[in-house]
Amino acid sequence: MLIEEVNYQEISPKFNASEVIKAKFLLYWDSRRKKEILSAIRKNDQRVVHFIKILLFLYERKENQYKKEMYREENDGAPNQVVAMKFLGNAAIFGNLRIYCQEHKINGKYHIVMSRVHVKQGEKNQAQERKIIGNIAKEKYIQDILEIELKKRPRRKI
């Protein structure tokens, strides 16, 4: 299994272990890059607060709504399920950080896999970013998402 569901308390123990947020969307991380993702978000308090704002946007978002400054689709016109959580603002705090994700909508609910951390360095690295985005698009997370969902279903007694 490449992914696991995010335990918000690993990001900060101040998050309540509430299931309520999961009613709106489910967040996962790529297990191979979990440490990297955690360390990027927890680098300072402002990043954690910004991450909470992204969660609030995702919690309240309308159908197919994106916010280009914070959570946007990353494609060249052709759907590829890749989106980016953006940490824009003071470079010393946010470091122009992106968390590239793969997003799937299953039965009306969004399933978002945080896949890779990337620090955007001006316009010159666009080719490199396109390569990263292309690689994320190829990840077969959907199979793991469906498997995790299947395991959650109550088993019928025989």
Applying CB under 8 A, the residues found at the interface with other proteins are 8, 12-16, 18, 20-21, 49-50, 52-53, 55-57, 59-60, 62, 65, 67, 69-70, 86, 88-90, 108, 156
48: closest CA among 14, 74, 5? 14
Q: Which residues contact 1 (CB under 8 A, 6 or more apart)?
A: 31, 144, 147, 148
Q: Are 75 and 26 spatial neighbours (Cβ–Cβ below 8 Å)?
A: no
How far apart are CB 108 and other proteins at their closest, in Å? 8
Shortest spacing between CB 2 and other proteins, in angstroms: 26
Helix ranges (H only) for 14-44 are 34-41
Nearer to other proteins, 79 or 154 (CB): 154
Residue closer to other proteins by CB (options 55, 136) is 55
Q: How far is the CB of 135 from other proteins (least distance, A)?
A: 27
Pairing of strands 25-30, 82-87: unpaired
Under DSSP, the state recorded for 149 is H
Q: Which is nearer to other proteins, 1 or 158 (CB)?
A: 158
CB closer to other proteins out of 89 and 134: 89
Nearest-approach distance from CB 99 to other proteins, in angstroms: 15
Could you tell me the two tokens for 135? 């690689």
Name the residue nearer to other proteins (CB basis): 67 or 130: 67
CA dist 155 and 111 (Å) reads 22
Tell me the two tokens of residue 145: 């998402």
Give the nearest distance from C-beta 140 to other proteins in angstroms: 29
